[in-house]
Amino acid sequence: MAMENVVEVPEYFLCPISLQIMKDPVTVASGITYDRHSIEQWLFTNRNTICPVTKQPLPHHHSSSSSLTPNHTLRRLIHAWLNPNTPLTKATLASLIRGLSAPESESQLQTLQKLEGLALESEENRAYMAQDDDLPKKLIHFVVSFRRNSATVGAEEALHILYILRGGGSGAEARVLKMDNAVYSNDEIINSLMWIFECDRFKDDEAVRSHAAHALRAAVEKGGAGVLGRLKPEFFKTAARGLREGGAWRHALLRVLLEACPWGRNRAMMVESGTVFDLVEVELKGPGEKKATEMVLGIIYHLCLSAEGRAQLLSHAAGIAVVTRRILQVSVAADDRAVLILWQIAKYSATEGVLQEMLRVGTVKNLCLVMLADSASYLKEKARKILRMHFDAWKDSPCIEIATITRYTR
* CA distance between the termini of the chain: 101
* pLDDT digits 0-9 by tens, 44-91: 888 888 999 998 888 765 555 557 888 887 887 887 777 766 668 888
Any idea what DSSP says for residue 60?
A: T
* pLDDT digits 0-9 by tens, 169-222: 443 333 444 455 545 556 777 888 888 887 777 777 777 787 888 888 877 777
Burial class (CB in 10 A: 0-12, 13-18, 19+), 297: buried
Burial class (CB in 10 A: 0-12, 13-18, 19+), 288: middle
Angstrom CA distances, 251 to 33, 172, 243, 256, 381, stand at 30, 19, 9, 9, 32
pTM assigned to the model = 0.72
Percent of the chain with pLDDT over 90: 32
Residue 150: predicted pLDDT? 62
Kindly state the average pLDDT of the residues 109-133.
81
Instruction: List domains and CATH numbers for the chain.
Output: 11-69 (3.30.40.10), 95-230 (1.25.10)
Instruction: Report how far Cα 42 is from the mean position of its chain's Cα atoms.
Output: 34
Residue 271: predicted pLDDT? 96
What's the length of the chain?
410
- Amino acid (one-letter) located at 160: H
State the Cα torsion 74-76-82-87 to the nearest 10°. -160
- The more confidently predicted of residues 250 and 223 is 250
What is the Cα–Cα distance from 141 to 121, expressed in whole angstroms? 24
3-state helix, strand, coil in the chain (%, to 5): 65, 5, 30
**Residue 322: pLDDT above 70?**
yes
Kindly state the average pLDDT of the residues 390-404.
73
Residue 381: predicted pLDDT? 92
- The dihedrals phi and psi of 269, each to the nearest 5 degrees, come to -70, -35
What is the Cα–Cα distance from 236 to 261, expressed in whole angstroms? 11
**Beta-sheet pairing, 69-70 with 33-35:** unpaired
* pLDDT digits 0-9 by tens, 247-304: 667 888 898 899 999 999 999 999 999 999 999 998 988 756 789 899 999 999 999 9
Any idea what DSSP says for residue 331?
A: -
